[in-house]
């Protein structure tokens, strides 16, 4: 009899973690944090661009994940995908908030220019879930729109304005990209 594949072991480990989180096991939340916090922080930081804000959003995401874990449906996707979406949505909500926008305008110029020179966070490694390979299979127009919508925190209207495209074109390309990605995930 052969040993189970690493993918099978990872899936079984994830299923056990999901069950423990559903059972409100606080020890499981510690394991969850250790396993996913760095990757989630990387996604959040890429959107909010400020370390302090990213830390706050990560904390908020962890609390939201803990309190809303009952809404996670494993049949709709992997745990990582669900928690990444929760975190990404909170980060986008943060940068769209009036408080954040007003605070961003009042920073000294030297702070904002220094932030532009910072290297991108390297802790987030999408290739371990195949995200990088999947987005490579999109055509360049679709990939650009997915990058702006998903990682840039742009709305479809903002993408249309940024790329100087009609809103309908952005929506069509986004929808087509989602269809391609959903087929690749399955």
For residue 16, count other CB atoms closer than 10 A to its CB: 12
Residue range 84-105, pLDDT digits in tens:
999 999 998 888 876 655 555 5
Q: Look at residue 59 in the predicted model and tell me its pLDDT.
A: 93
Residue range 14-70, pLDDT digits in tens:
788 888 888 888 888 888 898 889 999 988 998 888 899 999 999 999 999 999 888
Contact (CB, 8 A) for 121 and 42? yes
Give the whole-angstrom CA distance, residue 72 versus residue 95: 25
SS3 97: coil
Contact (CB, 8 A) for 157 and 167? yes
pTM higher than 0.95 for the full model? no
Contact (CB, 8 A) for 174 and 145? yes
For helices 6-22 and 26-48, the axis angle rounded to 10 degrees is 110
Residue 49 CA from chain centroid, whole number: 14
Task: List helix spans (H) across the chain.
Answer: 6-22, 26-48, 51-67, 79-96, 98-105, 109-117, 131-136, 140-146, 156-163, 167-185
């Amino acid at each position: 009899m052969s040993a189970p594949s690493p993918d099978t072991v990872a899936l079984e480990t994830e299923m056990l973690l999901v069950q423990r989180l559903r059972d409100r096991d606080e020890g499981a939340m510690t394991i969850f944090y250790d396993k996913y916090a760095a990757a989630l922080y990387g996604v959040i930081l890429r959107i909010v661009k400020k370390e302090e804000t990213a830390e706050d959003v990560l904390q908020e995401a962890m609390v939201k994940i803990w309190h809303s874990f009952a809404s996670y449906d494993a049949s709709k996707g992997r745990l990582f995908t669900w928690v990444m979406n929760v975190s990404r949505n909170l980060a986008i909500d943060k940068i769209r908030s009036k408080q954040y926008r007003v605070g961003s305008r009042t920073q000294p110029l030297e702070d904002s220019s220094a932030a532009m020179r910072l290297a991108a966070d390297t802790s987030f490694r999408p290739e371990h879930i195949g995200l990088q390979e999947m987005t490579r299979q999109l055509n360049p127009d679709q990939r650009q729109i997915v990058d702006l919508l998903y990682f840039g925190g742009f709305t479809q209207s903002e993408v249309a304005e940024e790329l100087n495209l009609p809103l309908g074109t952005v929506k069509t390309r986004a929808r087509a990209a989602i269809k391609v990605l959903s087929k690749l995930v399955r």
